[in-house]
Amino acid sequence: MIIYIILALVVIVNGTFALTFFRDLMANKDTVMKEPGNPIALAIFSFIIFLLSSFGVSDFAIAAALYPKLKWVEDRKLPGTLNTECVIPVAFMALIYISSIDVGLATLIVPIVGQVTGSYLSPRYVVKLPVDTIKKFVSAGLFIAAGLILAGKFGIYPLGGDLTSLPTGMLILLGIDVTP
């Protein structure tokens, strides 16, 4: 029953976001059209990025490396862009995964609360940071992600398994980790 409530909340919250985003997009159409980047290329890259994300490759890592190189997003706008662009694709992934994969309730709720909290609070601080500091944080995050991926591949860090819920200590670490 609680899973259906979570699924309904995912639909309601993300549907509200999509409507608000679309209205804002239409109201600021002229400004949006002046943004750099080719919309068709961006759509193709986004599809590939989120397809890879569904297999565990970080969409933030790929986009953070790709967008500045292609001059699609200014460095100071990168964190907000990454947070905004992933909302709808991640909502679809959440609907698919939550309804098809058995996960303990606490293990499901902790990262959701962490992500919502981090996504709400972080932009207020990030926009005040110098661009170099943002680059350092993004780079550090990419190196940490790469390190965890490599640790899993070399058997240093556990990969896979059959647990459906995490012990309390791991949940605390998960809650801290997912809050950007």
The pLDDT, as a whole number, for residue 177 is 62
Q: How many domains are there within the chain?
A: 1
Query: Residue 129: exposed, middle, or buried by beta-carbon count in 10 A (0-12, 13-18, 19+)?
Result: middle
The pLDDT, as a whole number, for residue 19 is 96
Give residue-wise pLDDT tens across range 41-70: 888 988 999 888 887 777 887 888 888 888
Whether the Cβ atoms of residue 53 and residue 93 lie closer than 8 Å to each other: yes
Mean pLDDT of 75-79: 80
The single-letter DSSP state of residue 61 is H
Residue % of the chain over a pLDDT of 70: 97
The band of 178, judged by pLDDT with boundaries at 50, 70 and 90, is low
Nearest to 134 by CA among 63, 74, 50: 74
Q: DSSP for 73-115?
A: S-GGGHHHHHHHHTHHHHHHHHHHHHHHS---HHHHHHHHHHH
Give residue-wise pLDDT tens across range 4-46: 898 999 999 999 999 999 999 999 989 888 888 788 888 898 8
Give residue-wise pLDDT tens across range 114-164: 878 887 887 788 778 888 887 788 788 778 878 877 887 888 877 677 778
Domain span at residue 45?
2-178
